[in-house]
Structure 1
Amino acid sequence: MNHNAISKYLNASQAAVDYIPVDKVHQLATAMLRTYEKKGNIFIMGNGGSGATASHVAGDFVKGASFGLEKRFKCICINDNLPALMAIANDISYEAIFEEQLKNFASKDDLVIGLSGSGNSANVVNALVWAKSQKILTAALTGYKGGKCAEIADISVHIPISDMEIVEDLHLMVFHSIKRMITLELLGDNPGMGAVYDARIR
């Protein structure tokens, strides 16, 4: 097999990093830290690859960003509860799978984060709309043209790249950068189990 496709993808990914809006990432990091300080919940969600990223982020903050802290992050991925997802999708609609869960748990001191490459995933849009109606802070990570999510969210981290795989890659980079910023803020030289802040090859 020809490895040109690999090189082309990696080169495109490297170039796309420059499209990450660092000021908006900092704004989201600040919102996550303030939610933590208020002992609020951080709810995160997405579909498909974005759902996998949401699950990854919740794991990072439940363990990685919380290890060594007396007060822990309450980061909950609401696409992880499969029985709830299937029941809501079957009995109400797939477009309601996130909104209906937020109605059970979310309150004014929380933060609701939606991930959608297109920015137009109806279930994510509906969840953000409901959260805003309850005066809950919202954030969205999107790609392409940003879609409805970018318009709705209080904090919009929009990466204008028309390539779903690269958008998904960069969304995870955004959260890893936020985790690093927050752990350095809270833990300084003791950034949690497994955290290595030296990228040099050993």
Structure 2
Amino acid sequence: MIFEQYSEQIMRLLHKRNWDDVLELATAIQEIWSTSGQLLICGNGGSAGNAVHLANDFLYGVVKDKSSRGIRVEALSANPAVITCLANDIGYEDIYSVQIETKGSRGDVLLVLSGSGNSPNIVRALEAGKKIGMRTYAILGYTGGSCKDLADVAIHFPIDDMQISEDLQLIVGHMCMQWLWSEITKA
């Protein structure tokens, strides 16, 4: 049955995984929290929705109480006026790179979410982030595409299924969020 197959694929990918790259992402996010840096997240389609979801989690889900501050984070896919303006005036392939060049700074963290790792706007986002000195991370499915070699750290799950790829983006994000919450509440 499809339900067992789906869950077995996710469990297989999670159980045989080394988590050092995820710890590296979580540690980078903790560092920007402690230095007031920022996290920029982007993706397309379901991955764009995941970017918004994770931005919410990192903004508020890592604080111990209302007097604490969360992480400075922005999902670059969250503003449809900006996305459609840039797509119309400059081209869809630069909807994220232009935002990164404007909002990003050296030492900030860029996290791209992509099933294939080959979308031109995601590739250009990584290139823009690297150009200004951001630390670049990617959560990828399928073969990892061009982004696998372009990101400083690629968290790659070799699965040819978009929905499972998108689920794994949230799982990794939620792992980071829970790790950050435990670290920040110690501070």
Provide the TM-score with structure 2 as the length reference.
0.94
- Where 2:143 maps in the other structure, the secondary structure is coil
1:108 counterpart residue number: 106
Say yes or no: does 1:54 pair with 2:54.
no
The alpha-carbon deviation at position 18 of structure 1 amounts to 2.6
The alpha-carbon deviation at position 40 of structure 1 amounts to 0.6
The worse-fitting range, judged by mean Cα deviation, of 162-171 and 92-101 is 162-171
Cα contact 1:38–1:109 (8 A) shared by 2? no
2:164 counterpart residue number: 166
Change (3 A) 1:5 1:71: closer
- Where 1:119 maps in the other structure, the secondary structure is coil
Once the two structures are superposed, the pairs formed by residues 165-184 of structure 1 within 5 Å of their partners are 165-184=163-182
1:5 counterpart residue number: 2
- Where 1:145 maps in the other structure, the secondary structure is coil
Q: For 2:164, give the aligned amino acid.
A: I
> Could you say which structure has the larger radius of gyration?
1
**Aligned equivalents of 2:121 and 2:181: distance in 1?**
31
**Aligned equivalents of 1:51 and 1:28: distance in 2?**
19
**Aligned equivalents of 2:18 and 2:41: distance in 1?**
20
2:89 counterpart residue number: 91
Q: For 1:34, give the aligned amino acid.
A: E
Provide the TM-score with structure 1 as the length reference.
0.87
Task: Determine what percentage of the aligned residue pairs are the same residue.
Answer: 35
**Alignment coverage as a number of residue pairs:** 185
Say yes or no: does 1:32 pair with 2:4.
no
> Which ranges of 4 or more aligned residues in structure 1 deviate by more than 6 Å?
none
2:20 counterpart residue number: 23
The runs of 5 or more residues in structure 2 that have no matched partner are none
Cα contact 1:20–1:158 (8 A) shared by 2? no
Change (3 A) 1:91 1:65: same
**Aligned equivalents of 1:92 and 1:56: distance in 2?**
27
The alpha-carbon deviation at position 20 of structure 1 amounts to 4.0
The alpha-carbon deviation at position 19 of structure 1 amounts to 4.8
